[in-house]
């Protein structure tokens, strides 16, 4: 499907998590971190697969949980986050980024996706990247990394397309069939070789039942969870 994931970036890795067969196969030349974000509290352990709330503060070697978002259905507070990076990916202070184009949206036929929602997610990603120390280039300048974004909605598209793009699924378990899965994928791509240096995907259940305020809170936590594995350039 042409998501700028090149065959040159594929070789085996080791997964330190309980994996399904589709995840356990050796697929990527990247360090892989998998986080299942759920409710409400767990003890932190030295494994890559952790279960925490969307409000959790994650760091290498441990995690800290906070109070969950109030009055949001527990099912909608769950998320699964996967991040991968090339072993050589070591961004440094001053590195720049730029969007190659708008976030691509793949949704089932007949499912409307408001452009305002896409723009809002993109703006939140921009703010979080700046907060982590990444600078956006001026028009006409080549960045150190190009940003590619993809939104995938619906259970069927999530299962098919994320397997094609990632080689595995984020692993969010659909115990409640009333909700469909939605995923937000972000990639940092070398502008010269077009190889993917870093990528992360966050998968959640989608719903129209949230208020505008709850949706705003949820989007903020989704973006923070998505970008939390990205190296912080501010130290």
Question: How many other C-beta atoms are found inside a 10 Å radius of the C-beta of residue 168?
Answer: 23
| 228 compared with 214, residue with greater pLDDT | 228
Maximum CA pair distance of the chain?
Answer: 48
Asked if pLDDT for residue 125 goes beyond 90, the answer is yes
Q: Would you place residue 66 in the very low, low, confident or very high pLDDT band (cuts 50, 70, 90)?
A: very low
DSSP-based helix, strand, coil % in the chain, nearest 5? 25, 25, 50
| 66 compared with 104, residue with greater pLDDT | 104
Mean pLDDT to the nearest integer, 210-228: 90
| 73 compared with 101, residue with greater pLDDT | 101
pLDDT of residue 60: 28
List phi, psi (to 5°) of 129.
Answer: -65, -45
**Tokens encoding 106:** 């793949």
Q: Would you place residue 40 in the very low, low, confident or very high pLDDT band (cuts 50, 70, 90)?
A: very low
pLDDT of residue 165: 73
Q: Would you place residue 127 in the very low, low, confident or very high pLDDT band (cuts 50, 70, 90)?
A: very high
132-187: pLDDT as tens digits: 999 999 988 999 999 999 999 998 888 777 777 776 667 777 665 688 889 999 99
Check: pTM over 0.75? Answer yes or no. no
pLDDT of residue 1: 39
| 195 compared with 39, residue with greater pLDDT | 195
Q: Ranked by mean pLDDT, which of 42-56, 65-79, 194-208 comes out on top?
A: 194-208
Mean pLDDT to the nearest integer, 191-202: 94
Distance in angstroms (rounded) separating the CA atoms of residues 65 and 165:
31
80-91: pLDDT as tens digits: 899 999 999 999
Question: How many other C-beta atoms are found inside a 10 Å radius of the C-beta of residue 93?
Answer: 11
pLDDT of residue 38: 37
Beta bridge partners, 218, equal none
pLDDT of residue 168: 67
**Tokens encoding 63:** 């995690």
């Amino acid at each position: 499907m042409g998501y700028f994931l090149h065959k040159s970036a594929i070789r085996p890795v080791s997964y330190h998590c309980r994996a399904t067969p589709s995840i356990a196969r050796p697929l990527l030349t990247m360090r892989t971190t998998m986080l299942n974000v759920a409710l409400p509290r767990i003890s932190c352990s030295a494994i890559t697969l952790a279960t925490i709330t969307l409000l959790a503060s994650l760091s290498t070697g441990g995690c800290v949980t906070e109070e969950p978002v109030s009055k949001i259905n527990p099912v909608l507070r769950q998320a699964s986050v996967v991040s991968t990076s090339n072993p050589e990916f070591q961004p440094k202070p001053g590195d720049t980024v730029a969007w190659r184009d708008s976030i691509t949206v793949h949704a089932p036929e007949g499912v409307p996706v408001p452009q305002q929602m896409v723009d809002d997610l993109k703006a939140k990603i921009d703010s979080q990247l700046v907060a982590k120390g990444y600078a956006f280039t001026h028009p006409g300048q080549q960045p150190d990394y190009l940003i590619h974004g993809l939104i995938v909605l619906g259970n069927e598209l999530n299962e098919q397309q994320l397997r094609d793009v990632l080689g595995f699924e984020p692993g969010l378990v659909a115990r409640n069939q009333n909700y469909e899965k939605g995923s937000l994928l972000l990639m940092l791509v070398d502008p010269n070789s077009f190889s993917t240096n870093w990528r992360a995907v966050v998968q959640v259940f989608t719903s129209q039942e949230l208020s505008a305020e709850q949706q705003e809170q949820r989007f903020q936590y989704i973006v923070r969870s998505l970008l939390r594995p990205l190296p912080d350039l501010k130290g």
